Chains A and B, each alone.
Chain A
Amino acid sequence: MKHYELEISQFADNELPAGEQKELFAHLIDCEECRGTLSDFMGMKKEARAFYENIDVELNPAIALPANAERGKEKKVYKPLFYFAAAASIVLGLLFLLKQSDINRLESRYDSLKAKYNEVVFAGENLPQKEYIHEAAKKENSLNVKKGMHESKPTALKNYHSVKQNKKNTGKVSAVNLAVVQKNESQYQLQKSRQIQVVQVTKNDFLTPQIIGN
Chain B
Amino acid sequence: TDAKRSNVAAPPQSALATARIISDINAVAYPEGVSSPRPELNENAKEGKFRYDREFLLQFMSICKEKPAMLPPLDAIGLEPVDQSSLGLTR
**A, B co-complexed:** no
Which positions in A face B, CB cutoff 8 Å? Answer: none
